[in-house]
Amino acid sequence: MKTPSNTLQKNEPGAQGASKNSIAIRFGLWLLALPRASTASTDLMIRLDNISKQHGHQILFIDASMGLQKGEKAGLVGPNGAGKTTVFRMIAGEEQPDDGQVTVDPGMTIGYFSQDVGEMSGMSAVAAVMDGVGPVSALATEMAELEAAMVDPERAGDMDVLVERYGEVQARFEELDGYALDARAREVLAGLSFSQERMDGDVGLLSGGWKMRVALARILLMRPDAMLLDEPSNHLDLESLIWLEDFLKKYDGALLMTSHDREFMNRIIGKVVEIDGGSLTTYSGDFDFYEQQRALGERQRQAQFERQQAMLAKELKFIERFKARASHAAQVQSRVKKLDKIERVEPPRRRQSVQFEFRSPPRSGDDVASFKNVHKGYGSQPIYAGLDLRVRRKERWCVLGANGAGKSTLLKLVAGATEPDQGTVIVGSSVRMGYFAQHSMDLLDGDDTVFESLDGSFPQAGQAALRALAGCFGFSGDDIEKPCRVLSGGEKARLVMAKMLFDPPNFLVLDEPTNHLDMATKEMLVAALAEFEGTMLFVSHDRHFLAKLSNRVLELTPDGVHQYGGGYTEYVARTGQEAPGLHPGG
């Protein structure tokens, strides 16, 4: 397998047409070695100066500016469609601003992780990760092929040639420090929860979520001068998320990232770049501090606007009252000229925030669900052996455990989606269950619009109520007429959640309900669920969601199942860990 070079300098053959910067794309990764450019400041590695950008009729940026210094870690925030991905693509050189300038330090490398992974197949996950750093990956792949050939009886006649070639390849692999790189690649993949079997398996057989992890691992293994990470926290379990958080804290390059995970952002970034109304505004501090400063700025601008409006009203009242009197003509004219010269204060742009309010669910019995001596396994792999669990009314159990520990299986058992091998799972009297699983999104009729899907589930609700429901879950304006088949993963998740919560059950069983949801929708969901009067059993990798909503913890470990009174915050304080087997900073 021949591996292309990851860098292409501006004056090399083939560099033309690469948007002025040299670019290589592999599996959702961009690695750039940028041509020399003059820069006014040695502190800023990346600068956007007075950029303007328009997509069709949509104006994204007007004279917007920002900068990123060496070692800085910044969060890029803004509503969906504001232009976050466009900022990444302009820095990467994939797009050019319509006006203004994007400047990057001479010769620096930038790793760009995007959600568009592309197709992967024909190599192991380890080889795909090492493929980002040049010819070592090709040698590793050839060594694996030669090893397979040497134990193939049908190739016995070629053994001398195979052994000789293997020696040559292995010598070159050692010369390039390939074994150390292989070990580092495996360390990164292990941090992202890959088993040894999954590391060595064909990457083409992995699900989309696992391929995203491979693409992310390529960036992390390279440790470029700067990283652009577009939603790196998507598709990660809690253990992988904590590992990645620790990795990025220790990373000494510049980092610009987006994430819908508030806690993840707070622990990594030291400044926020906000896209709002075509401008880029930089705030020092983490995401929570940014929100406080933004709210303070809005209040100040609102007060300034109201003061000016009161002054204008007073002046206009005087003009209207005395404009017909000759004795006041000079005063009236003076005030008219004064008003013409005043620069009008614009009211603050308020982001639309819609809250969802639960209807009161019917009351269930006190015993909502119980597991008695439950055994469950897949093939020869046991998941549960003698599990006993009792879920009582108004309890909110969060389920923690590493990949393969049985979190989703537990939820499937209580939802009746799978049966125990031994023992019983009993759902109590008057329990009305709502089960959200990742496959729930596949059950939507692709030909239905968002509104038709809601109307089909609640034909008696009325158009106004369903439009209000759609608005709460982010479907406003023409979005409600989108066919379900064109919806993104996040839009499908929001629609399924809306349908489940409109006529609420009294027992919510939720498997990663915040996957694909943006931060605003998450906040709405957390606020709504905090008022929910029923019972919850859920799995989530979002620590903000876990801390706000749980009052019980079920921990699944290789040593057995442990139950904790108190929620996730109390669990962390009591155990000194944020996930089973992982310690903060370790």
198: how many CB neighbours lie within 10 A of its CB?
A: 19
Q: Is the pLDDT of residue 34 over 50?
A: no
Structural element, H or E, at residue 374: strand 367-378
Say what the pLDDT of residue 5 is.
Answer: 29
| 532, 549 Cβ separation under 8 angstroms | no
Q: What is the pLDDT of residues 195-223, one digit of tens each?
A: 999 999 999 888 888 999 999 999 999 88
Distance CA(62)–CA(277), nearest Å, equals 9
Rounded mean pLDDT of the chain? 85
HEC states along 112-176?
A: EECCCCCCCCCCEHHHHHHHHHCCHHHHHHHHHHHHHHHCCHHHHHHHHHHHHHHHHHHHHHHHC
CA angle 249, 252, 253 (to 5 degrees): 110
Say what the pLDDT of residue 26 is.
Answer: 35
Nearest to 268 by CA among 281, 258, 279: 258
Q: Is the pLDDT of residue 227 over 60?
A: yes
Claim: this prediction has a pTM higher than 0.85: no
Nearest to 62 by CA among 31, 105, 97: 97
Of residues 91 and 24, more confidently modeled: 91
Say what the pLDDT of residue 412 is.
Answer: 95
Nearest to 218 by CA among 91, 319, 126, 320: 126
Q: What is the mean pLDDT of residues 106-116?
A: 85
Distance CA(163)–CA(468), nearest Å, equals 70
Say what the pLDDT of residue 27 is.
Answer: 39
| 107, 220 Cβ separation under 8 angstroms | no
Residue 408 banded pLDDT, cuts 50, 70, 90? very high
Q: Is the pLDDT of residue 519 over 90?
A: no
Q: Is the pLDDT of residue 476 over 90?
A: no
* Cβ within 8 Å of residue 39, ≥6 positions away: 47, 103, 105, 106
Question: 12 burial class (0-12, 13-18, 19+ CB within 10 angstroms)?
Answer: exposed
Say what the pLDDT of residue 369 is.
Answer: 96
Helix, strand or coil, per DSSP, at residue 578: coil
Inter-CA distances, 42 with 157, 227, 281, 576, Å: 62, 19, 21, 42
Q: What is the mean pLDDT of residues 260-277?
A: 93
Say what the pLDDT of residue 398 is.
Answer: 97
Distance CA(495)–CA(445), nearest Å, equals 12
Say what the pLDDT of residue 118 is.
Answer: 66
Q: Is the pLDDT of residue 36 over 50?
A: no
Say what the pLDDT of residue 43 is.
Answer: 66
Q: What is the mean pLDDT of residues 14-30?
A: 36
β-pair type (552-557, 396-401): parallel
Say what the pLDDT of residue 134 is.
Answer: 65
Q: Is the pLDDT of residue 285 over 80?
A: yes
Structural element, H or E, at residue 182: helix 178-191
Q: What is the DSSP string of 529-554?
A: HHT--SEEEEE-S-HHHHHHH-SEEE
Q: Is the pLDDT of residue 182 over 80?
A: yes
Q: Is the pLDDT of residue 554 over 80?
A: yes
Say what the pLDDT of residue 347 is.
Answer: 79
Inter-CA distances, 527 with 147, 237, 355, 522, Å: 57, 23, 8, 8
97: how many CB neighbours lie within 10 A of its CB?
A: 19
Distance CA(404)–CA(397), nearest Å, equals 19
HEC states along 192-222?
A: CCCCHHHHHCEHHHCCHHHHHHHHHHHHHHH
Residue 242 banded pLDDT, cuts 50, 70, 90? very high
Lowest mean pLDDT among 55-59, 172-176, 389-393: 172-176
